[in-house]
Structure 1
Amino acid sequence: MSRSGKDPDKRVRKARGRTASSTRWLQRQLNDPYVRQAKAEGWRSRAAFKLIELDERFGLIRPAQRVIDLGIAPGGWSQVVRKVAPKAAVVGIDLLPTEPIDGVTIFEMDFMDDQAPAKLEAALEGPPDLVLSDMAANTVGHKQTDHLRTMGLVEAAADFAIATLAPGGAFVAKVLAGGTDTELLALLKRHFTAVKHAKPPASRKDSSEWYVIAQGFKGRGQEATEEE
């Protein structure tokens, strides 16, 4: 114990072959209260708290009867959906393997695969009320390239949401610093009654991630003219 009576920060012991960046990542994980709370409450990742906080602010989950989770692994967001709306049908997809979640249909495949949208729709047996996307491209270390790759996924997720959502539905997606690109933001504003950006408290302060929240899907063919 320190003189203040508080436990000092946990330190990561040096290990042969461990890079400085991986050591810093482990150090951050050990001292992250959200990581500790996630383990204590049974969430699969600290990301669960991001959706919990967004839901508390925007009321996304409870009205939903059908939900699609893009980039589901490791499953924290679908866990939250199942807890808040236990009767909702949930379908998720990810390239990475995801341990089964009670009441959730999971596809281990690339969302960019041409067959993915049809599989998701068929499994849900009806239009989704909520499309969630926590997808992000693997980083290559070049800021502009990483941004373009991730925004490409966001655009694909938005196109999918617009093509499948039930009227009144909502779309939530992770974007990077700078928010949603101008063209995509204009597209969302044409198809949804409200479009906002938010950075939930669970997002690390040094993280470049933000979330775009589009609510009140107008329905296909009902979009308004682009706002000024």
Structure 2
Amino acid sequence: MTEPPRKRMVRPPTGGTESGRTVPERLKTAWKRTPSQQAWLSRQINDPFAAKARAHGYRSRAAYKLIELDDRFRVLKSGARVVDLGLAPGGWTQVAIERGVTSIVGVDLLAVDPLPPAHILQMDFTDPACGPELIRLLGGAPDVVLSDMAPNTVGHRQTDHLRIVGLIEAGADFAVEVLKPGGVFIAKAFQGGETAEVIAKLKQQFASVKTVKPKASRSDSSELYLVATGFKGRGTEGSR
């Protein structure tokens, strides 16, 4: 007695929906990949926020961090001028544009594909010429300064930590120098004593400073975000 033909097993869809994946995927091949690269790719494939980002067309999963922060603090408003520090690959700028911001400028060391109407500057933010050029492209003082900057790491823990803290401080100094009164500064930071020092300085210059860990931030990461609202103006104590 002949057996009936077997039905072809079709793998259920693994992307293209807002809900993302529910069944873990495995890498098809590990050829020419280091163990750390394999681990990163596997985590990325199975990350629900990465799946949602691909489905929605966002350039990075980080878009959902800003979405959560803006849903809570309502800082991205139509007519606002926004600076995006460390914008590559452009997920935060995408969210800002999607939420009605039309005056936005971003900077990164890396090249970034166009995101009209945003002005994109490929430059080192710590270059003294960068800040004035950002304001020139923006056409005036910003209402919001966003910073998702992260330094290139060298693998030496203390050195890498100092670089991270240095970028946070540089972003905060820039925000204080250029923001309109009442403005907002949002920046990626990390838990630690140095972050507490930055928070203390920001509290002298902003009406409210909160630390938030968005759901899209990985649970095993010390990453958090500083949300400073109600900039008091450059005449306040501690301002330059």
User: Normalised by the size of structure 1, how large is the TM-score?
Assistant: 0.91
**Structure 1 residue runs without a partner (length 5+):** none
Any conservation in 2 of the 1:64–1:129 contact (CA below 8 Å)? no
Going from structure 1 to structure 2, the CA distance change for 1:7 and 1:200 (only over 3 Å counts) comes to closer
1:29 aligns with 2:40: no
For 1:185, the aligned partner's letter is I
Any conservation in 2 of the 1:147–1:176 contact (CA below 8 Å)? no
CA drift at 1:7: 6.6
CA drift at 1:8: 4.2
**Structure 2 residue runs without a partner (length 5+):** 1-8, 10-20
CA drift at 1:224: 8.0
Q: Counterparts in 2 of 1:28-47, with a 5 A limit?
A: 28-47=43-62
Aligned partner of 2:177 in structure 1 is 163
Aligned partner of 2:138 in structure 1 is 124
Going from structure 1 to structure 2, the CA distance change for 1:224 and 1:120 (only over 3 Å counts) comes to closer
- RMSD of the TM alignment (CA)? 1.9
Identity of aligned residues (%): 53
Hey, what's the Cα distance between the residues in 2 that align with 1:224 and 1:68?
22
Count, aligned residues: 220
User: Normalised by the size of structure 2, how large is the TM-score?
Assistant: 0.86
Going from structure 1 to structure 2, the CA distance change for 1:154 and 1:224 (only over 3 Å counts) comes to closer
* SS of equivalent to 1:101: coil
Flag the structure with larger Rg: 2
Instruction: Report Cα offsets for 1:92-131 as digits up to 9, x if no partner.
Output: 0000010000110000010011110010011111110000
* SS of equivalent to 1:183: helix
Any conservation in 2 of the 1:14–1:23 contact (CA below 8 Å)? no
CA drift at 1:13: 3.2
For 1:168, the aligned partner's letter is G
Hey, what's the Cα distance between the residues in 2 that align with 1:125 and 1:181?
31
Hey, what's the Cα distance between the residues in 2 that align with 1:56 and 1:38?
17
